[in-house]
Structures are given as structure tokens and as C-alpha cells.
Amino acid sequence: MFKVKNLEVSLIKNNKIDRLLVKGVSLKIPDGKIISLVGESGSGKSLTGYSFMRIFPSQNLKITSGKIFFNDIDLISLPEEKIKEFRGRDIFMIPQEPLTALNPVLTIERQLSEIFEVHTNLSKDEIKAQCLKLLELVKIDNPAVRLKSYPHQLSGGQRQRILIAMAVALKPSLIIADEPTTALDVTIQGEILELFLELRKQLNLSILLITHDFGIVKSLSDYIYVMYGGKIVEEGIKEEIFENPLHPYTQGLIDAVPSITSVPKKPLKTIPGYSKISDFYCPFYDRCDLAQANCKREFLFTFINENHGVLCRRVIK
Ligand SMILES: Nc1ncnc2c1ncn2[C@@H]1O[C@H](COP(=O)(O)OP(=O)(O)O)[C@@H](O)[C@H]1O
Ligand SMILES: [Mg+2]
């Protein structure tokens, strides 16, 4: 079980907090569940994901508050040499760009082997056998041939499978998949999502799925966190979120999902405005059709039942 409590990630300038980018995010990832973090680009999803690894893409980003528990261990207060043991072994993050995540000058076998070389005492032959098994697990055709391939010789879907193989190599407790299908066409997307479901079942993995795509969320998640402007604005089990979305932002996202079963007669609804971190308590205030002056007041995230919570003034009794 992973638990994030009041996580804050900030942009640092001259050794001071310049801007909060993740503003007090709390979430839970129970064993074997697929938890989605959904929201449009810029809402702070990737930064939340990186926080689990305590590595950010640039030096000026820092966790400035909060806790991340893995069972009873707070990963944020661990010394650097200790967190290294968790990275890659217990928690694996598949980064947003699968292309750049693989080393173009090394074969797939070399890249997979390295994981075992660093983290286990297996012999060369055992490592080779493990690599083959991994490619079978992620359903790559001709695994023996593919091991000798370089990344550019593989399709986008195959590369994503390789990354998933790397992610599950050491049987981590949690994989964080950041926009895992964004670069892929729709059929391949479906296959990759199917693979996540199978692996979750086979390996009892927990998956934190980061995506801007509510369609993907619908097919994959057990529980959903909707993020906007650095905050969780709504959370709940899938049925609650889709059947009774409470936050105007969530409602907008769901309305914007293209329906697979019907050809749209009118242009798809898009959400007006742009994503911007606001200083109001509800970060959606300046884009919300239902906003009123008292939305600028601070109020608390409120649960309407045990499976559904929201940050919206209209829901507070
Ligand atoms: N290195 C950085 N320097 C400054 N701002 C950043 C940096 N990385 C991310 N941000 C800002 O943090 C916010 C959240 O980023 P991110 O977590 O990548 O969003 P998401 O993954 O939801 O698209 C964005 O507004 C982005 O502009
Ligand atoms: Mg991102």
C-alpha cells in the first residue's frame, strides 16, 4: 500500500519557493489496484509521479512538504542512499516519452540485462533466461530475435512493451505509467491497456496510471483522482466518477470523451480556457461556469460518501 499525504512540489528560485506546482495532494494506492491520476496537461500529474522516485526532470523542482508512505516507511524522509534501493526495485516509473527512455545504441537484451546485473546476483545464463521470459510476459513476437534488436528496429507499441518489461523485471510493488499510450495509435493503445490488466492480475501489481485521457481511465481504473491546477479536485471509484461527476471540471472532461459507439453529430465539446495554476482555493475558479464569489474562500475537500469526494463549494453543506 502506498499513501501520499499533503504532497507539495515547488519550483525553487534562489533557494526559495517561487511557485507551488503540486499543492497538497493526498492519495492512496492499495495493493493490486489500478489508480488513475487524470487531468489536462500542466495539472501536476507527472510531478506527483516523479515524487515517488524523488527524481525530477530538473534541479529546480523540489518536494517542499508532505509524506509518501510505502507500507510504514516514509520515502520522503529516507536518506538518498536508502531511496536508491527502492527506485527501480519496488517502484518503477515508465516515463512519458517511451522513445527517449530506451538507449538507442544498446540492444534490448543489453538494456534488460543491466537491470538484473545491478539489482540481482543472477548468472549470465540466468539473466538471459529472465530476459526471454520477460519478453514473453509482455507478449512480444519472436522474443529471441527481439532481444538482439535496437530500439529503432521496433514499432512504437513494441517499444512500449519493452518499457513495461523493464518496469516489471524486478517485480516492483508499484509501477507508475505516465501517459503510456499517448504516442500510439488506437488499436495498439487497446493492446497495451489489455497488457496492463493482465500483468496486474498475474503479478499483483499496483499501477498508478497518469493520463489526460478520460477514455483510458474508463477502461482501466479501479479508483480515480482528478487533478487540476496542482490539486485533487475530485476522487472516487470509477462508477461514482462517471455516473455522478460532481466537480464542474470533471463534468467537462467526461463530456469531452468521444463516444466509441456513436458518431458525433455535432463537434465534440472541448473545455474552454487554459490550464493555469490559480491562487484561489478552487483552482478551477476562473474557468468554471458555476463559479461564485465564495469559491475564492478556502474550503475543505468533502466526501459525499465513502467512495466519492470533491473540492467544490456547491457540495459543502
Ligand atoms: N522544470 C520545470 N520548471 C518550471 N515549471 C515546471 C517544470 N516542470 C513542470 N513545471 C510546471 O509544473 C506544472 C505541472 O507539470 P506536470 O506535472 O508535468 O504536469 P502534467 O504531467 O499534468 O502535464 C506545469 O504547469 C508545468 O509548467
Ligand atoms: Mg505529464
Among residues 120, 151, 168, the one where a domain terminates is: 168
CATH at 283: 3.40.50.300
Helices (H), the chain: 45-53, 80-86, 98-101, 108-119, 124-137, 143-147, 156-168, 186-203, 214-220, 238-243, 248-255
Q: Interior CA angle at 34 toward 159 and 64, to 5°?
A: 90
Atom 6 (ligand 1) nearest CA: 11
By residue range, what is the domain housing residue 134? Answer: 103-168
pLDDT at 274: 42
**DSSP code of residue 261:** S
CB atoms within 10 A of CB 181: 24
- 304 and 192 belong to one structural domain: yes
CA of 44 to the centre of ligand 1 (A): 6
Residue 117 lies in a domain: yes
Q: Please state the atom number of ligand 1 nearest to the C-alpha of residue 96.
A: 21
Write the pLDDT tens digit of every residue in 266-286: 444 545 444 444 455 788 988
Residue 273 lies in a domain: yes
Ligand with minimal distance to 95 CA: 2
pLDDT at 95: 83
Atom 1 (ligand 1) nearest CA: 58
pLDDT at 99: 67
Among residues 148, 168, 188, the one where a domain terminates is: 168
CA of 212 to the centre of ligand 2 (A): 8
CA of 258 to the centre of ligand 2 (A): 21
pLDDT at 59: 94
pLDDT at 183: 79
Ligand 1 surroundings by CB, under 6 angstroms? 11, 21, 39, 41-47, 58, 60-61
Residue 97 lies in a domain: no
- Residue 58 sits at φ, ψ, to 5 deg, of -140, 155
- 107 and 198 belong to one structural domain: no
- 193 and 266 belong to one structural domain: yes
pLDDT along the chain (317 residues), means of 10: 95 91 95 95 95 93 95 93 88 81 93 94 96 96 95 92 94 94 86 93 94 90 95 96 95 76 46 45 87 83 93 82
